[in-house]
A and B are shown apart, each in its own frame.
Chain A
Amino acid sequence: MIRFENVVKRYGDFEALKGVRLEVAEGQLVTLLGPSGCGKTTLLRTVNRLIEPSEGTVFIGEQDVRQLDEVELRRGIGYVIQSIGLFPHMSVLENVMVVPRLLGWSKEKREARAREMLALVGLEPQTFAGRFPRELSGGQAQRVGLARALAADPPVLLMDEPFGAVDPPTRERLQDEFLRLQSELKKTVLFVTHDLEEAVRISDRICLMNSGRVEQYDTPEVLLRSPKTPFVRDFLGPSRTLLRLSRIPLNDLIEPLGTHRPAVSIKRSATARDAFSLLLANGIRSLAVTDEGGQVVGLVRLESLLTAASEEEP
């Protein structure tokens, strides 16, 4: 759906993007990950032409974005930024209605859609429609930003560290809700972050960048298991295996109970990483797995975890 062909961006002598080649399939959530200054935000902004490449082309569908009028282009792309940028002089509802209004929708259609979007992001329309941005908490404001981006039902979403400005528990909650939303809406999302955990948590594929180049572009599992370059390995850090384990649901590793029932138990909805953490903490070699009700359904052994963690090709 989004394709970058040899995109170069120069600022004087400095090359922020050095010939990026990347393809984002429709309906996928791709994260642009990397240290500050790696060019991820620059690349993101070439999609809606807030930044024009010095060389190369950006395609949405089969359309070169330069063929379209930039203002019209942007109205068809959802854009969420870290500082959100809600308009302080407009109510929450008016903020969400901005793009539909730019597109010329009727008042009734705009309002109905805006309320729908607020509900979608978990903000009760009755309560929040008339509020003003200064009355919102960080998390609430971010949700409004998201609702605003989705209001015109754009096929593409560009998100630049959208959850960066909130505290960790709120961030996790927002990530979960966003994932839920994405599974429903199936938008093509380009997501910028510097947070590895966040990337691993939500992405379909991760594009790890460094100094304007793409270092590796794979699913989280592949990336974490097989870093291709020393940079990637360094970036992921020694704990990457643990991260990889966080993507493995416990369900895959459950074995039937044997004679001995382990003392410590864990819910089956947890991840392999959670299990490993518990094993370490208690100095044991197996855990009992329970369902929501507390019924023991099996056990998981350290050996299984070790196998899963292994980086050898299966």
Chain B
Amino acid sequence: MRETPPRYLDPVAGLAAGLGVLALLLPWLELKSSRIAPGEPFHVWDWQGFGALALLILWAGVARAQGPAQVGLLGLALLAWGLLTGQGADALLSGQPESARVSPAGGFWLTLLALYVGYFAAYRQGGWILLTVLLGLALLLGLGAFERLGPLMEFQSWREQFFTELWRHLSLSGSAVLLAVAVGVPLGVLAAGNPRMGWVLGVTGFLQTIPSLALFGLLLPLLAAISQGLRLEIALGAIVLGMFAFRLLWAVSGWLAVSLALSLGLLALAMAGAWLNSLLGPDPLRIVLGAPLQESGVRGIGAAPAVLALTLYALLPLVLNTYTGLRGVPEDARDAGRGMGMSPEQLFWRVELPLALPLILEGIRSAASLTIGITTVAALIGAGGLGFFILRGVEGGAPDMVLLGAVPIILLALLVDSALRFASMALRRRVGI
């Protein structure tokens, strides 16, 4: 009796299909009389019974298919998801007053999740399948499939400000990460080289535990007081003098020296953060000599406290990863390097740093995606960013506006994370770890 080959069912693809089918049973879209009104749920079959059936068949196919066929079916499911949504939005909105809105509901989101899981299963085909995803999404956007969904209607109203806040969000996060690298990596190098500097790790770790809102709240009155009273030249002068004074004080009292360094360091960071953000972002850079700091853009609210707090949060992954990366340099490589006649600087730049670099890059990745998320809170203190839409949306009871803020933030974080992950892997392979 001839044996039939076993039926093939990839459990992950099966999960995706299961989720996809379940999603069809949930309401797909919500129709509201206005952006703040409660919504009435609708299922896919309410406007396109055929569509529901088609998706059902596609999911069954995804579960059973293999190889390029599976990828093809997933692509079709992606297109179906978008086109059905667009069709539904049009259908539901016809004959409704202008203020009416259609929002995505459970079925829409669950299908997105199912697609994600499905592509995860298919990923072993190779990275090229991501191209198909991008193509599919581009096609859907080009056809205007999501155009009449609530969040995108909000986008139409707030278009200009959306891009400004997006830019602000990027400049706030970017400034913070850049400053965190500039401060954190040297701190990590210090900590790795000198066992007595281990407390650096402890302090940056402690900073992480402070709730973000609390940290912002603490910094606001502090910076407000300083920026109103202190003149720009005095601030700059104090920082420069402080650098010299540090050396002298270190011999006298470690604690005094460190306190001085910390307070002046925070001031310097606040100033650097505000100015870097102005350089990178849409808000103009103003340097006014002879006037209090706040004339030069360093205020108690806005970019200065925001970037300062964000930088402090981003410090830990950078300091820790730099430290671990340097510690992880093989001891025999160090010994051989020294023994061969490398000076300490040459050893650091030619051996230790290149070997620690992949881990440092991981730290940057970690810090970047973390920071993009926390930057959301910056809007609360008048620094702008995509959090503005989340706040207005919550305050105004408009979930569509919340999505307008939240979805780009998520996408940004994912994008940055993936890009840096890719770079880090490539570097690891090159360095041989």
Q: Do chains A and B touch in the complex (CB under 8 A)?
A: yes
B344 to chain A, nearest CB (A): 9
Q: Does A178 contact B (CB under 8 A)?
A: no
Q: A85-B332, A88-B355, A89-B430 are in contact. Are A99 and B341 (CB under 8 A)?
A: yes
CB nearest to B351 among chain A residues? A87
Q: Does A66 contact B (CB under 8 A)?
A: no
- A72, A85, A132, A133: the one contacting B341 at CB < 8 Å is A72
Is the CB–CB distance between B431 and A88 below 8 Å?
Answer: yes
Q: Does B214 contact A (CB under 8 A)?
A: no
Residues in B neighbouring A85, C-beta threshold 8 A: 330, 332-337
Chain B positions 300-347 with a Cβ under 8 Å from a chain A Cβ: 330, 332-343, 346
Is the CB–CB distance between B336 and A84 below 8 Å?
Answer: yes
Q: Does A48 contact B (CB under 8 A)?
A: yes
A273 to chain B, nearest CB (A): 35
- B330, B340, B351, B355: the one contacting A79 at CB < 8 Å is B340
Q: Does A83 contact B (CB under 8 A)?
A: yes
Residues in A neighbouring B432, C-beta threshold 8 A: 88-89, 132-134
How many angstroms from the CA of A49 to the CA of B337 in the assembled complex? 13
Is the CB–CB distance between A79 and B354 below 8 Å?
Answer: no
B38 to chain A, nearest CB (A): 60
- A88, A99, A133: the one contacting B340 at CB < 8 Å is A99
Q: Does A206 contact B (CB under 8 A)?
A: no
Residues in B neighbouring A202, C-beta threshold 8 A: none
Query: Interface readout for A53-73 with B: 1 if CB under 8 Å, 0 if not?
Result: 000000000000000000111
Q: Does B433 contact A (CB under 8 A)?
A: yes
Residues in A neighbouring B343, C-beta threshold 8 A: 71
Is the CB–CB distance between A89 and B355 below 8 Å?
Answer: yes
The dominant DSSP class at the B interface is helix
Query: Interface readout for A115-158 with B: 1 if CB under 8 Å, 0 if not?
Result: 00000000000000000111000000000010011000000001
Residues in A neighbouring B351, C-beta threshold 8 A: 87, 89
Q: Does A75 contact B (CB under 8 A)?
A: yes
Is the CB–CB distance between A79 and B336 below 8 Å?
Answer: yes
Residues in A neighbouring B338, C-beta threshold 8 A: 50, 74
Residues in A neighbouring B431, C-beta threshold 8 A: 88-89
Is the CB–CB distance between B341 and A86 below 8 Å?
Answer: no
Residues in A neighbouring B339, C-beta threshold 8 A: 48, 50, 74, 79, 81, 158
How many angstroms from the CA of A260 to the CA of B10 in the assembled complex? 81
Residues in A neighbouring B341, C-beta threshold 8 A: 71-77, 99, 102
How many angstroms from the CA of A50 to the CA of B351 in the assembled complex? 18
Is the CB–CB distance between B342 and A83 below 8 Å?
Answer: no
B355 to chain A, nearest CB (A): 6
Q: Does A98 contact B (CB under 8 A)?
A: yes
CB nearest to B333 among chain A residues? A85
Is the CB–CB distance between A87 and B346 below 8 Å?
Answer: no
CB nearest to A89 among chain B residues? B431
A73 to chain B, nearest CB (A): 7
Is the CB–CB distance between A84 and B354 below 8 Å?
Answer: no
How many angstroms from the CA of A262 to the CA of B152 in the assembled complex? 103
Residues in B neighbouring A76, C-beta threshold 8 A: 341
Residues in B neighbouring A83, C-beta threshold 8 A: 330, 332
Is the CB–CB distance between B433 and A87 below 8 Å?
Answer: no
Chain A positions 85-108 with a Cβ under 8 Å from a chain B Cβ: 85-89, 98-99, 102
How many angstroms from the CA of A88 to the CA of B7 in the assembled complex? 46
Chain B positions 267-326 with a Cβ under 8 Å from a chain A Cβ: none
Residues in B neighbouring A86, C-beta threshold 8 A: 333, 336
How many angstroms from the CA of A77 to the CA of B433 in the assembled complex? 29
A52 to chain B, nearest CB (A): 13
How many angstroms from the CA of A133 to the CA of B433 in the assembled complex? 11
CB nearest to B357 among chain A residues? A89
Residues in B neighbouring A89, C-beta threshold 8 A: 351, 354-355, 430-432
CB nearest to B358 among chain A residues? A89
A190 to chain B, nearest CB (A): 13
Q: A71-B342, A71-B343, A79-B339 are in contact. Are A84 and B332 (CB under 8 A)?
A: yes
Is the CB–CB distance between B433 and A98 below 8 Å?
Answer: no
How many angstroms from the CA of A191 to the CA of B336 in the assembled complex? 16
How many angstroms from the CA of A81 to the CA of B332 in the assembled complex? 8
Is the CB–CB distance between B340 and A98 below 8 Å?
Answer: yes
Most buried by B among A76, A102, A133, A134: A102
Is the CB–CB distance between B335 and A102 below 8 Å?
Answer: no
Chain B positions 395-433 with a Cβ under 8 Å from a chain A Cβ: 430-433
How many angstroms from the CA of A76 to the CA of B341 in the assembled complex? 8
How many angstroms from the CA of A83 to the CA of B330 in the assembled complex? 10
How many angstroms from the CA of A99 to the CA of B351 in the assembled complex? 13
Query: Interface readout for B113-148 with A: 1 if CB under 8 Å, 0 if not?
Result: 000000000000000000000000000000000000
B62 to chain A, nearest CB (A): 39
A121 to chain B, nearest CB (A): 16
How many angstroms from the CA of A132 to the CA of B431 in the assembled complex? 9
Residues in A neighbouring B342, C-beta threshold 8 A: 71, 98, 102
CB nearest to A133 among chain B residues? B432
How many angstroms from the CA of A102 to the CA of B341 in the assembled complex? 8
B174 to chain A, nearest CB (A): 28
Q: A88-B431, A88-B433, A102-B346 are in contact. Are A81 and B336 (CB under 8 A)?
A: yes
How many angstroms from the CA of A249 to the CA of B351 in the assembled complex? 47
How many angstroms from the CA of A77 to the CA of B336 in the assembled complex? 12
CB nearest to B346 among chain A residues? A102
How many angstroms from the CA of A252 to the CA of B411 in the assembled complex? 84
How many angstroms from the CA of A102 to the CA of B339 in the assembled complex? 12
Is the CB–CB distance between B330 and A88 below 8 Å?
Answer: yes
How many angstroms from the CA of A48 to the CA of B338 in the assembled complex? 10
How many angstroms from the CA of A145 to the CA of B335 in the assembled complex? 13
How many angstroms from the CA of A145 to the CA of B332 in the assembled complex? 12
Chain B positions 358-399 with a Cβ under 8 Å from a chain A Cβ: none
B208 to chain A, nearest CB (A): 31
How many angstroms from the CA of A140 to the CA of B378 in the assembled complex? 57
Q: Can you pick out 24 interface pairs between chain A and chain B where the beta carbons lie within 8 Å of each other?
A: A48-B339, A71-B342, A72-B341, A73-B341, A74-B341, A76-B341, A77-B341, A81-B335, A81-B336, A81-B339, A83-B330, A85-B332, A85-B334, A85-B336, A86-B336, A87-B336, A87-B337, A88-B431, A89-B354, A98-B340, A99-B340, A132-B432, A145-B336, A149-B340
Beyond A73-B341, A149-B340: 14 further Cβ-contacts under 8 Å? A48-B339, A74-B338, A74-B339, A76-B341, A79-B336, A79-B340, A81-B332, A83-B330, A85-B332, A85-B335, A88-B431, A89-B351, A89-B432, A98-B340
Binding site for B on A (CB under 8 A): 48, 50, 71-77, 79, 81, 83-89, 98-99, 102, 132-134, 145, 148-149, 158
Enumerate the 6 nearest inter-chain pairs by beta-carbon distance, A residue then B residue, closest first: A85-B336, A75-B341, A74-B341, A83-B332, A79-B339, A85-B332
Binding site for A on B (CB under 8 A): 330, 332-343, 346, 351, 354-355, 430-433
